[in-house]
Amino acid sequence: MPVRCLITEEQIGRGVDELARRISADYAGRNLTLIGVLTGSIILVADLMRRISLPHKLGLLQASSYRESATRPGALRINLDLLPDVAGRDVLLVDDILDTGATMARLMDEIRSRGAASVRCAVLLWKQSRTTAPIKPDYHCFDIPDEFVVGYGLDYGDEYRHLPYIGVLEGGREAQSAE
């Protein structure tokens, strides 16, 4: 299936550099824990944690409302088996994209319920036009149109994650991305 480049590898690099700079400044002197939302955020989390200039812990959780090659969400499934103790820590949830916001809102509530000192979120991409939950990312790199995007961790049918850029999957797919 053809993929049209939307955000280049170089643009992503600059965006992640700026994101890391802002996070490093905002969390200076605090007990930061990054929590990556698997599987889409894995590349962003790896790049971001190497660029953040202060000590921090890392944890992971898995959340999915999309199955296989679906382009519309189903029931949300959350797996917290890899989540570290966050009690008393400042938590930054990191995901690839904020679409409707429903997944991120639920994850933030879950982390708060575990006693985190604070909970904020950072995403690479934000589809503002689709956000329906009462949430905005605390940090984001790029606003994108309502198109189905892949690359830099985002997938379609578990493919295309390897692309070093963000591309629009063309071929008549619905204009929605896996949040």
Residues 62, 68, 69, 70, CA torsion sign: negative
Select the CATH number that applies to the domain covering 10-145 from these four: 3.20.20.210, 3.40.50.300, 3.20.20.70, 3.40.50.2020. Answer: 3.40.50.2020
Residues with Cβ within 8 Å of 50's Cβ and at least 6 positions away in sequence, in order, are none
Residue 146 falls in the annotated catalytic set: no
Residue ranges covered by each domain of the chain: 10-145
Is the whole model's pTM more than 0.85, yes or no? yes
Question: Looking at 47, 95, 96, 99, which residue is catalytic?
Answer: 99
Selection from 140, 99, 102, 137 nearest residue 119 by Cα: 137
Instruction: Tell me what pLDDT residue 76 has.
Output: 78
* Residue owning tokens 């643009």: 11
Say which DSSP state 100 is in: S
Mean pLDDT by 10 residues, the chain (179 residues): 95 98 97 94 97 96 66 68 90 95 93 96 95 93 95 94 95 47
Instruction: Tell me what pLDDT residue 77 has.
Output: 80
